[in-house]
Structure 1
Amino acid sequence: MRDEDPDATTREAPRARSGAIGGRWPRTGTEPVTARSPLRLRLLLAGAFLPLFTAAAVLFGLWAAESGPGDSPGRGALVMLTVVCGVLALSAAVDLWVVLRRLRREREAGASR
């Protein structure tokens, strides 16, 4: 048996980051104390996919509006693609907002030290 600190899994991370670790909830898993989310990568991905999914939702919506009764793909499939792309665009927008808020908090916490 290794000599480990029995409270090591419940200690909070010593950093001024927002998120589940570091202030709001106790640690429950086995992740490292210094684990960090790759915020810059999430910012890049959300920034790239938000306009892509928004444009796809608009295009599929316009295509569905102009499709006739015998067209292939059918109107139902195009509406479903519109909804899926809209949900993905909304998800990317929310993630972009969360990442920007977390980066702003980290920047403010770093400036106040």
Structure 2
Amino acid sequence: MNLGKVSSAVLMLSGIAGVLTPRGVGQALELTAPSARGTAEIRAGLGGTYAALGGWSLASREPAADLAVGATWLGAAAVRTAALLVDRPRTTWSYWAYLALEVGMGTASLRAARARR
């Protein structure tokens, strides 16, 4: 499996985790969902969206699928980096680990897209 497919699989699996265990994902990201609506939003936004995009990319042979996954990962990394200045979040080891994962997986997907051309 190439790194683009690994990136897509990681995105899909993180989405499946959001669908199946939205409270656990929320806790890992320090998100609180005090209502059923909040839990549903984590399940849909962090679950369904990522699971569908990652799954589509795994099934697709089009470079655009890898580009979409790469843009998603790198968009998250860019906003996480900007949030350091804007929001000044408490940065535990997991904050940096998520940033490294986003940059690594995003780069892998963009390289895979380029190789498919």
Classify the TM-score, shorter chain: 0.3 to 0.5
TM-score of the two chains, using structure 1 as the length reference: 0.40
TM-score of the superposition, structure 2-length normalised?
0.38
Looking at CA atoms only, which structure, 1 or 2, has the larger radius of gyration? 1
* Larger RCO (CA under 8 A, 6+ residues apart): 2
Q: Which has the higher helix share?
A: 2
